[in-house]
Structure 1
Amino acid sequence: MNSSFVVKRIVLLSTLATAPVLAQETPSEAEAEAERIQEKASVIASITTDRGIVTRAGRFVIEPAFSYANSNSTVVAIEGYTVVPALLVGLINISEVQRDIFVGAVTLKYGITSRLETTVRVPYLSIDEDLRERQAFQGTPVDTLSESSGEGLGDAEATIRYQFNDGLAGWPYILGTLRVKAPTGEGPYDVDRRVLEDSEGNPIGVAFSERPTGSGFWGIEPGLSFIYPSDPAVLFGNLSYTYTIEEDEGFENGGTIDPGNIVRFGFGMGFAFNERTSFSLGYDHSVIPKTDVEFDNDLNNAQFDRIQVGSLAFGLSHQLTADTSLSLSVSIGVTENAPTTELTLKLPMAF
């Protein structure tokens, strides 16, 4: 054998033996990276609405939250008839309503398994409302002012969330939700009401003497949500349907109220500035069908129009410690029945 060939082969083998080995990701490192991505995506999706990935098995989370919502609306009520298109005979009542709502809530989350999570939320509300009215065509510049307020326990919620997959092979995380809302707050038909009258003593409407803090109805809400990490962004969305159980509210002549079921959907995106700070932007919309009021005598049955509630929300989240984060979100109403603005501050702490 050629001696030069033998020398070259020995040198080559020696070089390979002493060459640095390329770093390869171990299974434990890959799992840690997947868990980091999952937690980051969950935080981003939960900044504006609670739709993150389920809590890890055995982990307990306490989330105190505080929110403030303000709404202003002007309502024009017309009672009369039109003689010609430009001439109206009757009464026009113009009302301006300003409402401030403060909500303090505590949410408890617990991861039962790696796929299953349970949540309980208990809110406490304080509501202040100012109503200013003026009757047009009455020849008076005087406004009728009235105030009402209320505070107390709101409607408590219990939720079970299940994660169907691990978000592998290019699939988004898909989660199913079942939420039950109990009428623990004081409903609209549990508080006193007063009749509003014009300057001549004629009734023109009904107002609450005290603001209700709850809906007064049981609600069952199944839904689906998805979270799709797409570096550097995270896409998310949700769709749900709330079935509201009609109730007999104890009218003098008997009858029931069906407040209508609710269709909710939302979508948005967010991204992380760094390992500790994240940003989110989303849109949420609720469609509330017509409310039916049925009396036993069928004489005063009523049906109220469908309501559209849409809001655009954005927020920031900052990781304070390994188990604690702070998030602030701002929601702006884009439909007539949505709150004008809403600020929400959350401080989830994991144990």
Structure 2
Amino acid sequence: MRKPLLFPLFASACLMPATGIAQTDSAGDVPASPEEAEAKKEQVTDIASITSDRGIVTRPGRLTIEPAFSHAHSNATRVAIEGYTVIPALLVGLINISEIQRDIFVGALTFKYGFTSRFEADVRVPWLSVNEDLRERQAFEGTPVDTLRESSGEGLGDVELSARYQLNDGLEGWPYVIGVFRVKTPTGEGPYDVDQRVVEDSEGNPIGVELEERPTGSGFWSFEPGFSFIYPSDPAVLYGSLSYVWTMKEDQGPENGGEVDPGDVVRFGFGMGFAFNERTSFSLGYDHSVIRKTSFETNSDLFGANFDRIQVGSLSFGLAQRLSTNTTLSLTVNVGVTENAPNSELTLKLPITL
């Protein structure tokens, strides 16, 4: 299950350099007035706030409270074949056809505080509601009746702690570079925390494991260092990011495969934001995650020794509208472009700066 959310990009920084250094216009030759520099900073802030977690460096002493709501929908059809072929056109065995529909609703509250002109930290607390419907049929059993199963889960998700530091001033044509470090805690109910039952075929042979309810968290600690880049080119903003997620392995007991080592994740993304005017901006980008194999200590028939590598890619676009000096409303739409990505994801955010 992919969490909505898919992966984060950090692509924005304050356009104002450190105190005492003059800001220049887009040509890089004529010093801009403080009013012009402030206007550019506000535009970049609006552009970066469209998509989730762009890494805006909050001004010193300012607290930003950001309520957010998102909905992700996934719909997939899978065909599992257990048998052998006599000739290429003839299969002897069992064909299981299943259709899975999953809806994930996430309400989150983020608190972000700027300690200095270059350093900020935040905490994000999510609440998840997951609904999943499974419709399947065994093609060789000669029955027109589908088997329907429904499951759901609701509760606290994985709380995230993040810190960002602006590494340079972005002068002389260089992009702004921001170092990012994120920690995800296993506060949500993980896959190994919920009740499980063994799924058997018509002959009583185990063919898999089914969860009694949907988990709301990963169940593992993870640490994500990375970098984000932003290049202002008035009126557009170009951005990119690169990060690596390391997940700690844990012993889940012999019935769950022993020591489980979740696959690490390589994340990258890029895109562009464009300001239509002082209040409205638009963003278009692409996010991609490469999830490596998950390994188990035991070579169980139910779990297997390894899972294949997973590719998750999505195209995102959105709009942001400045409602007041301290409030911006943003709407983002993500469309999955790989098999394991959610079909669609809608995110609404309302950051309020105090």
State the 1:49 CA deviation: 2.6
Bigger mean CA deviation after superposition, 328-337 or 29-38: 29-38
Q: 1:49 to 1:248 in 2, by over 3 A?
A: same
Confirm or deny that 1:241 pairs with 2:263.
no
Matches within 5 A, 1:267-346: 267-295=270-298, 302-346=305-349
Tell whether the 8 Å contact from 2:123 to 2:159 is kept in structure 1 after alignment: yes
Q: Match of 1:304, SS?
A: coil
Match of 1:147 in 2: 150
Q: 1:218 maps to what in 2?
A: 221
207, 210, 235: which is aligned to 2:210? 207
1:84 CA drift (Å): 1.2
Q: Counterpart of 2:215 in structure 1: which amino acid?
A: P
Alignment deviations for residues 328-350 of structure 1 (CA, whole Å, 9 cap, x no partner): 00000000000000000000000
Q: Structure 1 residue 51 and structure 2 residue 54: aligned?
A: yes
| 1:61 and 2:81 are equivalent in the alignment | no
What is the CA RMSD across the aligned residues, in angstroms? 2.1
CA separation of 1:247 and 1:58: change in aligned 2, threshold 3 A: same
* Equivalent residue, structure 2, for 1:231: 234
Q: How does 1:182-201 map to 2 (within 5 A)?
A: 182-201=185-204
1:30 correspondence with 2:30? no
In 2: Cα distance, 1:217 partner to 1:298 partner: 23
Q: Which has the larger radius of gyration?
A: 1
What is the CA-CA distance between 1:252 and the residue it aligns to? 3.9
C-alpha distance in structure 2 between counterparts of 1:193 and 1:146, whole Å = 14
* Residues 29-66 of structure 1: per-residue CA shift (max 9 Å, x gap): 72332233133223212311312430000110000000
Could you list the runs of 5+ residues in structure 1 that have no partner in the other structure? 1-24
Indicate conservation of the 8 Å contact 1:224/1:239, yes or no: yes
Deviation, 1:304, is 0.4
Which structure shows the bigger proportion of residues in helix conformation?
Answer: 1
Partner amino acid, structure 2, of 1:303: N
TM-aligned CA distance change 1:299 to 1:87, over 3 Å:
closer
Pick closer, same or farther for the CA change 1:336–1:187 going to 2, 3 Å.
same
1:297-338 deviations in Å (ceiling 9; x for gaps): 999751000000000000000000000000000000000000
Structure 2 match to 1:79: 82
Contact 1:54 1:163 (8 Å CA) reproduced: yes
- 2-structure distance, mates of 1:309, 1:29: 42
Cα drift, residue 225 of structure 1? 0.4
Paired residues of 1:45 and 1:236 also in contact (CA < 8 A) = no
Describe the superposition over 1:78-135 as per-residue Cα deviations: whole angstroms up to 9, x where unpaired.
1111111111111111111000000000011000000000010000000000001100
The AA in structure 1 aligned to 2:53 is D
Give the aligned residue type for 1:54: V
Question: Kindly tell me: are residues 121 and 253 of structure 1, through their superposed partners in 2, closer, same or farther at Cα, counting changes over 3 Å?
Answer: closer
What TM-score does the superposition give when structure 1 sets the normalisation length?
Answer: 0.88
Deviations 1:242-279 (Å, cap 9, x if unpaired)? 00111111224872111110000000001111100000
Q: Find runs of 4+ consecutive structure 1 residues off by over 3 angstroms.
A: 197-204, 296-301
Amino acid at match of 1:284: D
The whole-number CA distance in structure 2 between the counterparts of 1:199 and 1:277 is: 59
How far apart in 1 are the matches of 2:304 and 2:195? 22
Question: How far did residue 241 of structure 1 move?
Answer: 0.2
Q: Which amino acid aligns with 2:63?
A: F
Aligned length: 326
Cα separation, 1, equivalents of 2:183 and 2:293 = 22
SS in 1 for 2:57: coil
Of structures 1 and 2, the one scoring higher in RCO (CA 8 A, sep 6+) is: 2
**% identity of equivalent residues:** 72
Instruction: Give me the TM-score of the superposition, normalised by structure 2.
Output: 0.88
Post-superposition Cα deviations, 1:7-48, rounded to whole Å, max 9, x if no partner, equal: xxxxxxxxxxxxxxxxxx9x9972332233133223212311
**Matching residue of 1:39:** 42
Q: Which amino acid aligns with 2:236?
A: A
Secondary structure in 1 matching 2:39: helix
